Structure formats: structure tokens, C-alpha cells
Amino acid sequence: MDYQKEFIISEEVIEALKNNQPVVALESSIISHGMPYPVNIETALMAEETVRKYGAIPATIGVYQGKIVVGLSNEQIIAISNDPNNPETKAMKASVKGLPYAVSQKLNAGLTIAGILRCASIAGIRVMATGGIGGVAKGGEISMDVSADLEEMALSSVAIVGAGCKSILDIGRTKEYLETKDVPVIGLQTDSFPAFFTPKSEYRIDYRMNNIDEAAAFMKAKWDLGFKGSVILANPVPDEFAMDEDKINAAIDEATRLAEELNIKGEKSTPFLLSKVCELTNGDSLKTNIEIIRNNTKVAALVAKAYCQLV
Ligand code: PSU
Ligand code: MN
């Protein structure tokens, strides 16, 4: 069996890449594990629409019945949605380590940022949109819980538009880890490393840029120089959708305490914290999350367009 055949790029995406048209890769673990059904599907479809509205082609990447698909159809997006009442929509969470498992066992899977970066890079897609990046967990200096996202960012040459990282993580150590891996963090109209639900944290980005053309020029410079690895484009949540800092931090602290009490570790940890935070804020965190996705997919489409004009 030749597993190369299990990597499928949609016709539309192939065509766009061939003609140097902008393409934006979209993350799918947010569908399978990051948001509850059916908001997960609505948000995934909204993300695709937003990318199109701002002039790029969306490529949601996931594993459907053992095939890695770059450019999932709407039906395939539904098939990885983990609808609790429909066993056919069951999907695992896959980082790069889980991809061969999903493929060889013919499973459905939603891909983490690490997984998306690897597949986007193989397909030749240079920009991805996500919500927030994975990073060093709270207490990660002892547990060594560091997301594979950070390692993959050093390997795959893709720009990531994200709203920083949630304070379910240790933001300071996440920034230090990126520093060690030489992954640049560009602040889009900000000097502060965004904390996902709020536009600012006490940590700084590396380079501030006030417009998208500068960011695209940075990407081109990095990759033209032959340097591999990602570029993080930190795009803070718009003020009108930001959460109250005390409220969100209280929910995060309580979710973190519960995870410890229940001894939740490894790849189960992030999905558990995300769903607990959503529950503890009565869905307010989910509303903010959706607006962040809208904003990031818009900016990612504009970045992809600007980058295509340079190459
Ligand atoms: N952080 C979020 N939302 C998410 C994730 C992280 O605010 O949905 C997901 C992303 O797919 C990210 C993954 O790549 O969790 C990281 O998981 P882990 O911490 O197990 O590496
Ligand atoms: Mn982890």
C-alpha cells in the first residue's frame, strides 16, 4: 500500500496554488475538540466564508476516513464535528504524531496547529488562520507539557495568524520557548503579546508592524533567505469583543484547578480546559472565540493576498 495516495488536495486548492492565488489553511481541531457542536460547524463555515469574502481560497485541513484532505468539503467538515448524537462524526485529535494513526486506522481527525502546519507546508500553503496557539502549559517547567505546536513552528514555513495564547498557558514561558526556537512573533498594530480573550498581556512581541504589507514582506524576506520555520502574526481580539480580564482569569484558574484534581494530562488537557472555561463563563468565552476567528480569518486572507503579490 502506498500511503502517498492518502494525502489529497482539493481541485480548487490545487488550481489556486498553481495560479499563485491566495490560499488560507484553516485549523480543524477547533472543530473536533475546540468548540461544542453545533457552534463548531457554524464557526468553521463562517471561517471559510470570511476567507472568501476577503479574496482568498479557504483550505480547512483534516483527516476524513483515513485520508488527509487539504480543502475539506462541507460534508467532510460535518464528518469531523464530534456531534454527541451521531457516532459517524467521531473524530480524534491529531497532531503530527497522530496523523499516521488516523491514516492507517482509517479514522476521522481534527488537526492541531502542528498538524495543520505540516500538511499546509507539504501542500505549499504559506498562511494559516487559527484562534490561539498552543504553548507551554502552566507548571510546564515541571510537567514538561509543551505543545508540539511550538516544535513544528520551527520546522514548517507557514505564517500563523492567531490572537496570541490563552492564559490557560504560561504566556511568558511560551514566548521564551518561541524565542529559543527562533520563531518570530510579529505584533499586528500591537506591542503586546495578546492573551487571546484580552488584547494585551504583560509580555511583548518581537516586531511591531502596522500594516499587512510589512508582514508579507517579512515573510518573503525570511523564506527567500532560505530560513525555514513559521512566522507568528499576533492579531489581538478587537476591543469590543474582549472579555473582562478578572472574569476570564477566574474561569481559567478554576478550570486549571479541576484539571489537576481530575489528573487530566497530555493531549486531553487543552480540550478539557477549553470546554471548562466555556462552561464556567456560561458561553461568553465561546462568543469571544467566534469573533476572534472572524477577525483572524479576515486578516489571514489579506496577508495571503499581499504575500502572493510579492512572489
Ligand atoms: N488553544 C486554543 N484553542 C484551540 C487549541 C489551542 O485556544 O483549539 C488547540 C489547537 O489546535 C492547538 C492545540 O494546536 O489545541 C494544542 O493542543 P496541545 O496543547 O495538546 O498541543
Ligand atoms: Mn500538551
* 288 in contact with ligand 1, CB cutoff 6 A: no
Residue 46 has pLDDT above 90, yes or no: yes
For the residues 92-109, what does the mean pLDDT come to?
98
Q: Please report which confidence band the pLDDT of residue 24 belongs to, taking 50, 70 and 90 as the band edges.
A: very high
- Ligand 2 center–CA 35 separation, angstroms: 18
Q: Which atom of ligand 1 is nearest to the CA of 34?
A: 8
Query: Could you give the CA distance from residue 91 to residue 54 in angstroms, rounded to a whole number?
Result: 30
| Of residues 61, 75, 58, 280, the one with CA closest to residue 168 | 280
> Is 27 known to be catalytic?
yes
H or E stretch at 63 = strand 57-64
Q: Where are the domains of the chain?
A: 3-306
What are the pLDDT digits (tens) for 224-281?
A: 999 999 999 999 999 999 999 999 999 999 999 999 999 999 999 999 999 999 999 9
Would you call 233 helix, strand, or coil by DSSP?
Answer: strand
* 112 in contact with ligand 1, CB cutoff 6 A: yes
- Ligand 1 center–CA 270 separation, angstroms: 6
Residue 1 has pLDDT above 90, yes or no: no
What are the pLDDT digits (tens) for 68-84?
A: 999 999 999 999 999 99
Catalytic: which of 6, 138, 152, 166?
Answer: 166
Superfamily of domain 3-306: Indigoidine synthase domain (3.40.1790.10)
Burial of 75 (0-12, 13-18, 19+ CB in 10 A): exposed
Residue 111 has pLDDT above 80, yes or no: yes
pLDDT for residue 167: 86
- Ligand 1 center–CA 149 separation, angstroms: 8
> Is 97 known to be catalytic?
no
Residue 191 sits at φ, ψ, to 5 deg, of -105, -10
Residue 148 has pLDDT above 90, yes or no: yes
Q: In the predicted model, what is the mean pLDDT of the chain? A: 97
Strand partners, 110: 62, 93
Would you call 137 helix, strand, or coil by DSSP?
Answer: strand
For strand 67-70 and strand 57-64, is the pairing parallel, antiparallel, or unpaired? antiparallel
| Of residues 310, 110, 117, the one with CA closest to residue 220 | 310
Q: Which atom of ligand 1 is nearest to the CA of 33?
A: 8
Q: Which atom of ligand 1 is nearest to the CA of 115?
A: 14
